Structure 1
């Protein structure tokens, strides 16, 4: 009974001794109880060592805990070099710390602070693959911002009552904004739609006055007119609105987004101030046209997002498309503009559904005749001030930016959700974590921009990728960035069980071909094996360093279209692919084959499913047309070898394909009939003989038909001569009688025919 227990405790103590680390006695008890379960308390796997990285660059890419020992005499006596390991392990194994390549993630905050609301203004971060760095960003809203409010009004006929109400809004709004802002400026602009059919009527009687059918005096339709720049003189605003006339169009949607983009990007014309909160209020009662709607009018040029005002009139309305929502969102964020959609009627919900696609915007429903317009602006502005959100601009591949808002109420919000109900002068913190997945194909210094929505300040984050080692920058110490092959990998000369090792190896073993340079000119020959160079452009690999992942052409961002390998600067395609970029499937050759099974009619080559004619005089989808081609086959292929026996398969295929359109080729090589003059004479004789035989057949058939017709006529005459008495009942002649009558007395016409008796013959009366 005690012997098994003693054995169990002994095994537990042994397992306890194997535990390298742990949280005190608890782990020891766990190991003791788990003695019968192997592997519970074993040391965790070291992915740095397991990776068996042969270069410093590959070692750094394994993980942020890995380091590379660049010390030349490190582990000289060991068979396994093991230069890639955890940094602490390298130091314990004798590598000096100043020779260890292991860049750490580092954050440096710029000391030249010019921002007041968003700090820090600039941050520099150093990252290596699979590493992450964090810093805190502070947003400090100011109290009583200067406010720039630009009214963008739909002046179609249905909005005339709202425009009348807008005249009294200026003074009322300025009084209500005194408690929020000490400096308010107002501006005004109008829009209708693109001035082309089918958006407006192009009838000569209505093109300048779309309201002529209603006996109203309307101004001509327009895409966008900037009426009044931002001003603090309320009287000027009221005067501009008072002089505004209504206009009209045909279709229901308006060109609001076209006008909104121009009011956003035309900074100098509108008069947007850098230090002010920028509000753009769009007042309408209808939906707006979106991108691609312009194709109804034949307008296909995409909107370039630039300002096109001339004399305060948008001049590209009839030549450029409406902007897309993504383009509009980008311009609003870049120019720090918040939008308020003031919508009357049922179309309010249409704009409300667009808010997630347009950050920093909100929608409010205006009452009849815009009676609540002033309160609507104040309410929307206060809501905008109470929300603090971060937008990430200029994203970089392989760089992941994580934003966590730490709100004043203690809650945490992820992503673009941000904080709401933030009081003025209350500071909002954001934890910014930036992680690097890999080096990708780009190197050097890059940056991203963290921009709080509606603020005119932002934070620039410079990112420096550390994908290469410092030892690679110096040619004298380049060898310590590469782990040399171990002695076990060296070639040996063995006879039976006796082996002798040689220190000298032929350099010819490092050549792919005798005419090629050593290691393809991209590596060093070490003990008869190629050790490829390291470069920041990409990776060089292969037995002879003949392959890489950067020097060959790309197709849609993929090296050799992902269907081949890069070898000596050219794409070597995998099976089933062709082309200089391996971008074409061999299955596309079926599109180059004519009805006779020839590729490009024997006059060209098939390139990615399309025929490329080799003769300039040849044309057609399958190179089937050749007006200048001579009748002889000798221009395309010499048919002299065809009658010979024991031809190679290649020669036989050429005889079948290249000359098939000029020469009939049978399986027997002796039946190769070239198009020489003797064959044309034989063909001509056969044609003449066939024609004469056919003509003779026609004449014989014609004579037979004529003879048959004559016999038929003769038999009909004999039949009439031998008629019986019964046939005499039929009249052999026809009696005619002329009847005259007068047109003035048609009633005097009488025709009397007496009735014949039995066996009486009809007789004509004179």
Structure 2
């Protein structure tokens, strides 16, 4: 628009139309600003805890006479507003979020500060800086974990010459180096090894070699300064064998990482674990092929430097292995021969603080490989957040020496020894519904043997809640919030205050609401849990603490009331798993349940009298030894069989008496009668035998009087022919005439008696 046209425009009625959009935008912004409400004062919070949970800008006035004439609840507001309304500064509950270093390490520390105390409240943000840098000439522990299967024999032979050469090359990083050596093959069970009798002791019998027995892991040489000993130990190492392609590398690697005392890892040194292999490794769940289903517990299980649970636990998962490597400040290097190198390289993102390098067929590049891998690991500075807390969010940003910013997990690359890396750590908190108390978070720089501990204090309660520090009102007089239930899910809000708590205790020695709820206005509000309902005046009862049977509460045949099963009709027992119809199997012929000496459980009698036994408790045992045997739990199987046999002979049936009794005279009489009966039986047998023998002798004498006389000549002939004499007895014996002349000389005559 020209200057000449300006007066004309000013006089024109169309000019105001052009400025209307600008005016409208101005009024809109003013309206939005006016519409923004103060969430502290507009919330209607009636307790100090609820007020603080609204946001970091909210405060609560505990002054008793604050705005006594006001009809509105105005104790919750921003701190400046409360002060302007007349609330004294010392009566304003307004915790501020802040971080404070608690301790710092000396000048030789690589991570500072070592410990930080953080006070935080809902919606607040806390920041602090963590400094990490490498120190020169830091102590170093190098542990070789070697696959000694037959295909690795050339690499093993090369390894024994590496120790001295490597120590010379690593002098740029450290002049304090220890070396160690361990071996592994695989789990010594089928199908990983051959269990043929000829191969149990020697898996290499087919190729006419003597192999070591296959093993999960052996700590052959703990960390030592003696490179000569290292060389000799490696030189004496024999190969072993197995039959499947993957090896137990990760199983052995975890043991080498967690067995600090056995390996000799030093707290003041960096830890470098070098895994040498030419095959892939078994992973978690592979062990099920051998029937091994117990998950790996991540613990150390070495005995005399041998992994003793190799055949009992599964291979570790990658997550568990990575966690243990980080937790024990171990940098891992995979030195791999052949095409399997790419398999390990792909796993590096899942195993923080590890590197992969390829070995040549004769492992001639071993010392260069270790040097390069260690140099690369030193040039990377990353941080892992350990022990996270639910509801607390931790964000870490790395500020690299070149000025770039990356996430803490990504970290900085190509960091030199004298350069420092700063990490900006930010903590935020959502709500106060997740509990109180001091918690801690661990920041672990990968490959370093130092950590930073963050102690977290959740400022979710007010000082006026504490009986010892009560300093005013934490709740308004017209609070209607007493009728609301402050529990969500499994935890009650810690922002709620426990006032009038004495009426919420079953007894002075009991905790408020039995520790399962909060006390508001003298009434218990019980927790809510996914397991079931907690109820009662003092939250002392629930409907989920009853016995389970086959995974069902009260077997699904009853209701749980105050920890006891109330069975439905037709079911009984403490867990309602027995049908009432089975009770008939416990009745004796007189209609007594278990003969009046026991209780019926699922159709079987459980005798309550210690001396009663039998299917219906119908038998009674009357001997101390038998009673002692029945009550003893330290009797061997052979002794138990002897006692049982003896006790079975000492039982008697007492169907006429309702109670078992014990009288030692009965046993005495029983033994006397048994002994007398036995002696009388023997006497009767002896007398009978004597009578029978006398009878036979009398018959023999009477028969001899009827024999026919024989001439002397005949008697001599008979004596020469017969070896024994046979007597035939008859009522009237006939004459016996034997013609000796008719018998031939060679003929023999035998008499059968």
Q: Smaller-chain TM-score range?
A: 0.5 to 0.7
Is structure 2 residue 191 aligned with structure 1 residue 220? no
Is structure 2 residue 142 aligned with structure 1 residue 188? no
2:98 to 106, 110, 119: 106
* 396-405 or 225-234, which deviates more: 225-234
- The 1:41/1:187 distance shift into structure 2, 3 A limit, reads closer
1:561 counterpart residue number: 530
SS in 2 for 1:346: helix
Q: Is the 8 A contact 2:104 2:113 kept in 1?
A: no
The separation in 2 between residues aligned to 1:95 and 1:109, in whole angstroms, is 33
1:165 counterpart residue number: 158
Task: Report the alpha carbon displacement of residue 338 of structure 1 after superposing the two structures with TM.
Answer: 0.5
Is structure 2 residue 417 aligned with structure 1 residue 417? no
Is structure 2 residue 330 aligned with structure 1 residue 337? yes
Task: Report the alpha carbon displacement of residue 621 of structure 1 after superposing the two structures with TM.
Answer: 7.9
Q: Deviations over 1:705-724 (max 9, x none)?
A: xxxxxxxxxxxxxxxxxxxx
Q: Is the 8 A contact 2:547 2:574 kept in 1?
A: no
The separation in 2 between residues aligned to 1:612 and 1:292, in whole angstroms, is 46
- The 1:629/1:249 distance shift into structure 2, 3 A limit, reads closer
Q: Is the 8 A contact 1:75 1:81 kept in 2?
A: no
2:311 counterpart residue number: 318
2:71 to 79, 92, 95: 79
Task: Report the alpha carbon displacement of residue 300 of structure 1 after superposing the two structures with TM.
Answer: 2.9
The separation in 2 between residues aligned to 1:539 and 1:441, in whole angstroms, is 14
Q: TM-score, normalised by structure 2?
A: 0.65
1:89 counterpart residue number: 81
- The 1:581/1:78 distance shift into structure 2, 3 A limit, reads farther
The separation in 1 between residues aligned to 2:363 and 2:123, in whole angstroms, is 56
2:594 counterpart residue number: none
Q: Is the 8 A contact 2:463 2:469 kept in 1?
A: no
The separation in 2 between residues aligned to 1:80 and 1:618, in whole angstroms, is 56
Gaps of 5+ in 2: 1-8, 483-499, 506-511, 588-753
1:120 counterpart residue number: 113
1:709 counterpart residue number: none
1:521 counterpart residue number: 503
Q: How does 1:64-463 map to 2 (within 5 A)?
A: 64-111=56-103, 113-114=105-106, 116-463=109-456
SS in 1 for 2:153: helix
Is structure 2 residue 615 aligned with structure 1 residue 615? no
* 309-318 or 401-410, which deviates more: 309-318
Gaps of 5+ in 1: 13-28, 490-517, 524-532, 551-558, 574-578, 593-598, 631-766
Q: Is the 8 A contact 2:504 2:538 kept in 1?
A: no
Q: TM-score, normalised by structure 1?
A: 0.64
RMSD of aligned Cα (Å): 4.0
Task: Report the alpha carbon displacement of residue 33 of structure 1 after superposing the two structures with TM.
Answer: 5.1
Q: Is the 8 A contact 2:64 2:473 kept in 1?
A: yes
Task: Report the alpha carbon displacement of residue 320 of structure 1 after superposing the two structures with TM.
Answer: 2.4
- The 1:272/1:622 distance shift into structure 2, 3 A limit, reads same
Q: Is the 8 A contact 1:571 1:581 kept in 2?
A: no
The separation in 2 between residues aligned to 1:3 and 1:548, in whole angstroms, is 74
Task: Report the alpha carbon displacement of residue 4 of structure 1 after superposing the two structures with TM.
Answer: 14
Q: Is the 8 A contact 2:217 2:307 kept in 1?
A: yes
The separation in 1 between residues aligned to 2:359 and 2:569, in whole angstroms, is 66
SS in 1 for 2:174: coil
Is structure 2 residue 6 aligned with structure 1 residue 49? no
2:643 counterpart residue number: none
The separation in 1 between residues aligned to 2:59 and 2:125, in whole angstroms, is 16
Q: Is the 8 A contact 1:520 1:568 kept in 2?
A: no
- The 1:341/1:486 distance shift into structure 2, 3 A limit, reads closer
Q: Is the 8 A contact 2:147 2:183 kept in 1?
A: yes
Q: Is the 8 A contact 1:618 1:627 kept in 2?
A: no
The separation in 1 between residues aligned to 2:272 and 2:574, in whole angstroms, is 67
1:474 counterpart residue number: 467
The separation in 1 between residues aligned to 2:531 and 2:73, in whole angstroms, is 34
Task: Report the alpha carbon displacement of residue 255 of structure 1 after superposing the two structures with TM.
Answer: 1.2
Task: Report the alpha carbon displacement of residue 471 of structure 1 after superposing the two structures with TM.
Answer: 1.1
The separation in 2 between residues aligned to 1:519 and 1:422, in whole angstroms, is 59
Q: Is the 8 A contact 1:571 1:580 kept in 2?
A: no
1:548 counterpart residue number: 525
Task: Report the alpha carbon displacement of residue 68 of structure 1 after superposing the two structures with TM.
Answer: 0.2
The separation in 1 between residues aligned to 2:336 and 2:228, in whole angstroms, is 25
SS in 2 for 1:258: helix
The separation in 2 between residues aligned to 1:177 and 1:610, in whole angstroms, is 75
Q: Is the 8 A contact 2:188 2:214 kept in 1?
A: yes
SS in 2 for 1:108: strand
The separation in 2 between residues aligned to 1:614 and 1:546, in whole angstroms, is 38
The separation in 2 between residues aligned to 1:306 and 1:545, in whole angstroms, is 49
The separation in 1 between residues aligned to 2:442 and 2:504, in whole angstroms, is 39
2:584 counterpart residue number: 627
SS in 2 for 1:627: helix
- The 1:562/1:195 distance shift into structure 2, 3 A limit, reads closer
Q: Deviations over 1:477-529 (max 9, x none)?
A: 57611011189x9xxxxxxxxxxxxxxxxxxxxxxxxxxxx999349xxxxxx
Task: Report the alpha carbon displacement of residue 442 of structure 1 after superposing the two structures with TM.
Answer: 2.4
Task: Report the alpha carbon displacement of residue 387 of structure 1 after superposing the two structures with TM.
Answer: 0.4
Q: Is the 8 A contact 2:138 2:173 kept in 1?
A: yes
The separation in 2 between residues aligned to 1:348 and 1:476, in whole angstroms, is 65
- The 1:570/1:619 distance shift into structure 2, 3 A limit, reads closer
Q: Deviations over 1:221-254 (max 9, x none)?
A: 1111111122233222221111111010111111
Q: Is the 8 A contact 2:567 2:576 kept in 1?
A: no
The separation in 1 between residues aligned to 2:531 and 2:307, in whole angstroms, is 47
Is structure 2 residue 83 aligned with structure 1 residue 58? no
- The 1:582/1:566 distance shift into structure 2, 3 A limit, reads farther
The separation in 2 between residues aligned to 1:380 and 1:618, in whole angstroms, is 62
Task: Report the alpha carbon displacement of residue 461 of structure 1 after superposing the two structures with TM.
Answer: 1.1
1:15 counterpart residue number: none
SS in 2 for 1:354: helix
Q: Deviations over 1:44-96 (max 9, x none)?
A: 21111121100001100000000001011111111113100011111111111
Task: Report the alpha carbon displacement of residue 111 of structure 1 after superposing the two structures with TM.
Answer: 4.4
1:739 counterpart residue number: none
- The 1:438/1:371 distance shift into structure 2, 3 A limit, reads same
The separation in 2 between residues aligned to 1:185 and 1:617, in whole angstroms, is 63
The separation in 1 between residues aligned to 2:574 and 2:423, in whole angstroms, is 70
Q: How does 1:463-542 map to 2 (within 5 A)?
A: 463-474=456-467, 477=470, 480-485=473-478, 521-522=503-504, 539-540=518-519
Q: Is the 8 A contact 1:157 1:246 kept in 2?
A: yes
Q: Deviations over 1:571-593 (max 9, x none)?
A: 999xxxxx448999xxx99x97x
Q: Deviations over 1:81-114 (max 9, x none)?
A: 3100011111111111110001001222124534
2:604 counterpart residue number: none
2:712 counterpart residue number: none
Q: Is the 8 A contact 1:211 1:218 kept in 2?
A: yes
* 312-321 or 278-287, which deviates more: 312-321
